[in-house]
Amino acid sequence: MNQYFLLIACLQLWPTITPVSPATTWGPLAIIFIVSASKEAWDDYNRYLSDKKVNERRIWVVKDGIRRQIKARGIHVGNIVWLHENDEIPCDLVLIGTSDPQGICYVETAALDGETDLKTRIIPSICADLSSEQLGKIKGVVECPNPDNDIRRFDANMRLFPPIIDNEKCPLTINNTLLQSCYLRYTEWACGVAIYTGNETKSGMSRGTAEPKLTAADSMIDKLTVAIFIFQIAVVLLLGLAGNIWMDSHGRKLWYLMYPAERPWYDFLVIPLRFELLCSIMIPISIKVTLDLAKGVYAKFIDCDDQMFDPETNTPAHSANTAISEDLGQVEYILSDKTGTLTENRMIFRRCCISGVLYGDKTGDALKGCQTSKCCLK
C-alpha cells in the first residue's frame, strides 16, 4: 500500500499531468511514514526495556567461594548460580543442589514450551551427598555438546575434582538442567552451574528473525485494496482511451486548449495518468495511519484491562506485539486438551454424594461446605 501512495506522489511531481499541488499527497505521506516509524520505534523501545530489565536483574552467584549479587548479564559459563522460589532462571544451568532432601525441584516451562504443568528436575547422582557449604566450593568439569535449540534433549557428562570426589564421571540428561526463561516453583532454593549463556542458551538458539505479522483485518484490507486497484486501472484505461479518441477527433481543433502542434512521444500517456491521479482517492491515504493508531489504542486497552489481571501471581495482561492485537476479536472457538498446554491443572472438589446425600453448596466447592466437613470428621 505504501508503494502505491509513493507512486502517486511521484506522478504528482510531473506538472503536465498533475491536477493538484504535490504537497497534498507528499504531506500526508510524510505524516504516515512518521507515524508508522514512531510505532515501530515504540515497539522496539519496549522490547529494549524488557531486555534491559532481564539483563539488569540481580542474581546470586558464587565467585572464588564467596556468594555475591551481580547483574544477570554478568553471568559467565562456569559460575554457580543460586536461585530462590519464583525466580526466573537467567541462563541454562546444570542443577547441582536444592533445598529438597530428595534433591528435586520444580520448574514452570510455560515460557519455553507453552505447558503450564510443573516439571520435576533432579540433581545428578554425583552431587547427591553434597552439603550447601560444599556446593559453593566444588570444582569440576561439565562436558557439554555445542549449543542447540533442542529443549527435550541434553547429553553431557560431569566430573568433580578432589577433595569432593575422585574424578568419577556422571552422565547428565535434560532432567538435570534448568533452562533459561523457566521459573523455579515450590522450591525454597536451588543452585546450578552455568553451561550456556546469552544467545547460546536453548531459548536463545530458538529465537529467529522476527517476521512481519499480518492480522486477518490486514489481509482483508490488502485484498480489498488490490481489488480496488484493479478496478481503478480498468476505469483509467477506459477513460484514457476515450480521452485520447476525443482529443484526436475534437480537442486539437479547439484553439483555446492551446495544444502544441508537435506532439511528444508520451502524449498518449498524459490523459490516462491524469485520470489515475484523479481516481487515486478510491484508496484513502489515511487508512494506514488510522489502522496503526487504532492498533496502539487496542494494545493499551489490553494492558489496562482489570478483568485480565491475575491476582494470584500479581500479573497484568501485556500486549507483546501491537501489530496483531485485534486478532483476539477473531477467536470463535478454543480447542484445548488436558495436558496443561493451554489449561491450568487445578483440581477442585466440586460436589460428592455419600449414602444418597449430596454434599456441596452453590459455590461449587464442596470443601467449603460445613456438611461435608462434618461428614469427613465422622
Query: pLDDT tens digits, residue range 127-158?
Result: 888 888 888 888 889 999 999 999 999 999 99
Which pLDDT score, from 0 to 100, does residue 377 have? 44
Does pLDDT of 59 surpass 60? Answer: yes
Reduced to 3 states (helix: H, G, I; strand: E, B; else coil), residue 312 is coil
Which pLDDT score, from 0 to 100, does residue 288 have? 76
All 3 cell numbers of residue 174?
Answer: 535434560
Q: 349 or 89: which carries more pLDDT confidence? A: 89
Total-model pTM: 0.63
Q: 143 or 21: which carries more pLDDT confidence? A: 143
Q: How many CB atoms lie within 10 A of CB 203?
A: 19
Q: CA Rg, the chain, in Å?
A: 33
Which pLDDT score, from 0 to 100, does residue 81 have? 94
Q: Is 78 left (phi over 0), alpha (psi -120 to 50) or beta?
A: left
Continuous segment of H or E residues that includes residue 299: helix 287-303
Which pLDDT score, from 0 to 100, does residue 369 have? 52
Q: 374 or 71: which carries more pLDDT confidence? A: 71
Q: 267 or 123: which carries more pLDDT confidence? A: 123
Does pLDDT of 266 surpass 80? Answer: no
Query: pLDDT tens digits, residue range 237-262?
Result: 998 888 888 777 776 677 666 666 66
Q: How many CB atoms lie within 10 A of CB 247?
A: 19
- Say what percent of the chain tops pLDDT 70: 85
My answer on whether 219 and 194 are in the same domain is no
All 3 cell numbers of residue 375?
Answer: 461428614
Going 29 to 31 to 32 to 37, the CA torsion angle's sign is: positive
My answer on whether 13 and 98 are in the same domain is no
My answer on whether 51 and 62 are in the same domain is no
Is 365 contained in some domain? no
Which pLDDT score, from 0 to 100, does residue 210 have? 60
Q: Which of 180, 206, 232 is the last residue of a domain?
A: 206
My answer on whether 50 and 179 are in the same domain is no
Query: pLDDT tens digits, residue range 272-291?
Result: 888 888 888 888 877 777 88
My answer on whether 116 and 51 are in the same domain is no
Q: What integer is the mean pLDDT of 103-113?
A: 89
Q: Which of 206, 223, 251 is the last residue of a domain?
A: 206
My answer on whether 63 and 201 are in the same domain is yes
CA-based end-to-end distance of the chain = 74
Contacts with 244 (C-beta within 8 Å, 6 or more apart), sequence order: 268, 271, 272
- Say what percent of the chain tops pLDDT 90: 25
Per-residue exposure over 309-323, b if at least 16 CB sit within 10 Å of its own CB, e if not: eeeeeeeeeebeebb
Q: 206 or 346: which carries more pLDDT confidence? A: 206
Confidence of residue 95 (pLDDT cuts 50, 70, 90): very high
My answer on whether 276 and 184 are in the same domain is no
Q: Which of 186, 206, 226 is the last residue of a domain?
A: 206
Is 167 contained in some domain? yes
My answer on whether 147 and 201 are in the same domain is yes
Closest residue by Cα to residue 151 from 123, 124, 178, 171: 178
Is 346 contained in some domain? no
Residue by residue, DSSP assigns 165-200 as SSS-EEEE-GGGEE-TT-EEES-SEEEEEEEE-GGG
Query: pLDDT tens digits, residue range 309-331?
Result: 888 778 888 887 777 777 887 88
d(CA 131, CA 239): 89
User: What residues does 203 pair with on adjacent strands?
Assistant: none
Which pLDDT score, from 0 to 100, does residue 362 have? 61
Does pLDDT of 89 surpass 90? Answer: yes
Question: Domain of 62: which CATH number?
Answer: 2.70.150.10
Q: What integer is the mean pLDDT of 189-197?
A: 94
Is 364 contained in some domain? no
The amino acid sitting at 230 is I
My answer on whether 202 and 62 are in the same domain is yes
Q: What integer is the mean pLDDT of 203-224?
A: 78
My answer on whether 15 and 103 are in the same domain is no
Number of H helices, E strands in the chain: 9, 14
Which pLDDT score, from 0 to 100, does residue 211 have? 66
| Contact between residue 152 and residue 130 where contact means Cβ atoms under 8 Å apart | no
**Exposed/middle/buried for 183, CB within 10 Å: 0-12, 13-18, 19+?**
buried
Which pLDDT score, from 0 to 100, does residue 337 have? 65
d(CA 277, CA 344): 57
Is 326 contained in some domain? yes
Which pLDDT score, from 0 to 100, does residue 367 have? 56
Query: pLDDT tens digits, residue range 154-187?
Result: 999 998 887 666 567 889 999 999 999 899 999 9
- Own/partner contacts of 252-259, CB < 8 Å, gap of 24 or more, are none
Closest residue by Cα to residue 81 from 149, 179, 160: 179
Q: What integer is the mean pLDDT of 6-20?
A: 81
| Contact between residue 85 and residue 174 where contact means Cβ atoms under 8 Å apart | no
| Contact between residue 97 and residue 136 where contact means Cβ atoms under 8 Å apart | no
Which pLDDT score, from 0 to 100, does residue 283 have? 84
Is 103 contained in some domain? yes
- What are the angstrom distances between the C-alpha of 253 and each of 141, 196, 243, 258, 314? 96, 83, 14, 9, 81
Is 25 contained in some domain? yes
Is 368 contained in some domain? no
Question: Catalytic residue positions?
Answer: 337
d(CA 365, CA 10): 69
My answer on whether 159 and 219 are in the same domain is no
Q: Is 317 left (phi over 0), alpha (psi -120 to 50) or beta?
A: beta
My answer on whether 64 and 201 are in the same domain is yes
Q: How many CB atoms lie within 10 A of CB 11?
A: 17
Residue bearing cell 511531481:
13
Which pLDDT score, from 0 to 100, does residue 96 have? 93
Query: pLDDT tens digits, residue range 33-44?
Result: 888 788 788 878
CA angle 121–128–176, rounded 5-degree value? 25
Q: Which domain holds residue 189?
A: 58-206
For helices 23-55 and 2-11, angle between their N-to-C axes, nearest 10 degrees: 150
The domain total for the chain is 2
| Contact between residue 59 and residue 71 where contact means Cβ atoms under 8 Å apart | yes
